[in-house]
Amino acid sequence: MSHIKEMTAPCGLFCGICPVYRAREDRALAEKLAPTLGLPVEDVPCRGCRAQQGKVLGGVLCPTYQCVTKRSYDFCYQCPDFPCLKLAPAAHRADDLPHNQKIYNLLLIQKMGLEKWAEEAHDIQRRYFRGKKDFGGSDLNLER
pLDDT digits (tens, 9 = 90+) for 29-60: 999 999 988 889 998 898 988 999 998 877 77
pLDDT score at 98: 60
Note the pTM of the prediction, 2 decimals. Answer: 0.70
Separation CA 55–CA 52 (nearest Å):
5
Q: Which of 25, 31, 29, 4 is nearest to 15 (CA)?
A: 4
Rounded CA separation 17/21 (Å): 8
Residue spans of the domains in the chain: they are 3-130
